[in-house]
Amino acid sequence: MRLGTMEGKMCKKTQFKYCPSTIDKCMRILIENIRDNCNTVACCCGHGKYPMTIVCEMTGEYFDIVSDVVIPRTRKFYKKDKEGYYYIPECVNVALDDGGQQDA
């Protein structure tokens, strides 16, 4: 089973240039809609392999609004796996704890 909230609807590692940031094309409308209420600093759809993540900053604290996980860093939120996919380790661990399984 692959992690991700939009299974089968993921972009194929394509990105969209949005303001000064590059985001996954499939996340563009979602990010546009939450930007007024959330200082979005990073996001990734998970590409069907990892859970979707949207990192926001509030009062100096960074957290993923999808999993409600606090990220203990102020930058470099994502790690890159051997296949070139980005993920936030803390969010993958939460998804696995909730019963998800990561591909081997």
What confidence tens digit (pLDDT) does each residue in 47-100 have?
A: 888 999 999 998 889 999 999 999 999 888 999 899 888 899 999 877 666 655
Strand partners, 58: 61
Could you count the other beta carbons within 10 Å of the beta carbon of residue 63? 16
| Residue 5 pLDDT level (bands cut at 50, 70, 90) | very low
Percentages helix, strand, coil for the chain (3-state, rounded to 5) are 20, 30, 50
The model scores a pTM over 0.85? no
Structural domain spans, the chain: 15-97
